């Protein structure tokens, strides 16, 4: 079975540009999470969807960040405009819930110059 699929794997762009990260969760999983990993802050939740509905977006840094889940098989995380401090690895994870483990994608390494 395919795991969580994220794209792109790497993204390098200039400050001020719009960045869109994509995620396809595992089929049948009804919860999807976006995490960010940095040296300074470690792994932190950005937003959590359950059945395509945002449940917890308290980790979204500011209005420059937005996330959508238009259907059960696709989610996007958008940064507009991007800033150098947004440079990080962004992970998407999915699970069936009920205390089951979250399965992670390979992450997107984002570099904002």
Partner 1 sequence: AQTVTQSQPEMSVQEAETVTLSCTYDTSENNYYLFWYKQPPSRQMILVIRQEAYKQQNATENRFSVNFQKAAKSFSLKISDSQLGDTAMYFCAFMNPPNFGNEKLTFGTGTRLTIIP
**How far apart are CB 21 and partner 1 at their closest, in Å?**
15
Cβ-based nearer residue to partner 1, 14 or 42: 42
Spell out, one character per residue from 35 to 74, where the chain touches partner 1: x when CB under 8 A holds, - when not: x------xxxx--x------xx------------------
**How far apart are CB 12 and partner 1 at their closest, in Å?**
16
CB atoms within 10 A of CB 77: 23
Binding-site ranges for partner 1 (CB under 8 A): 31, 33, 35, 42-45, 48, 55-56, 89, 91, 93, 95, 97-99, 101-104, 106-107, 109
């Amino acid at each position: 079975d395919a795991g969580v699929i994220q794209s792109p794997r790497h993204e390098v762009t200039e400050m001020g540009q719009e960045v869109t990260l994509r995620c396809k969760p595992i089929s049948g999983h009804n919860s999807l999470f976006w995490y960010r990993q940095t040296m300074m802050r470690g792994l932190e939740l950005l937003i959590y969807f359950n059945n395509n509905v945002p449940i917890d977006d308290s980790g979204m840094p500011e209005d420059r960040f937005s996330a959508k889940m238009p259907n059960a098989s696709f989610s996007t995380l958008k940064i507009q405009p991007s800033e150098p401090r947004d440079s990080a690895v962004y992970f998407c994870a999915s699970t069936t819930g009920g205390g089951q483990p979250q399965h992670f994608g390979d992450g997107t390494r984002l570099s904002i110059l």
